[in-house]
Amino acid sequence: MTPPQKLNAAPPVAPSHNVKRGAAVARPQTAEERRRAQRVLLKMPVIIHVPGKTHPLHGFTHTVSASGAMIVLPEGIPMGTKLSVENPKTQKKVEAYVVRPPQLNADGSLVPVEFTTPSPQFWNIFFPPNASN
């Protein structure tokens, strides 16, 4: 005969360095809390300059942050590609690279880019400081 087993026992949880401690409850941090920079929904035109391509790609932003953006383009750009993002309103450019493979959606290819150096003024909007975790 086998010994009785506990019913509804939760599996043991491995300790995590990204656990936010509350009054009496510990929970994993949300993606928003782990994020390095605050994201803002902002649809604005951008021009993407890819070395080796004769013509720039015209697209628009989906979300932006001080360190990059999710850009919607008519075609995908491979992960790791270095490029320049141009804000046609200000004619400023910033160097960036594609951080993950693009994903297709109804508007085109979602291309996540990260600036080589954080550039909070590039989008011409104000980013409030991150809340302390």
Lowest mean pLDDT among 36-40, 69-73, 90-94: 36-40
SS (H, E, C) 11-63: CCCCCCCCEEECCCCEEECCHHHHCCCCCEECCCEEEEECCCCCCCEEEEEEE
CB distance 71 to 48 below 8 Å: yes
**pTM to 2 decimal places:** 0.70
Tens digit of pLDDT for each residue in 74-92? 999 999 999 999 999 999 9
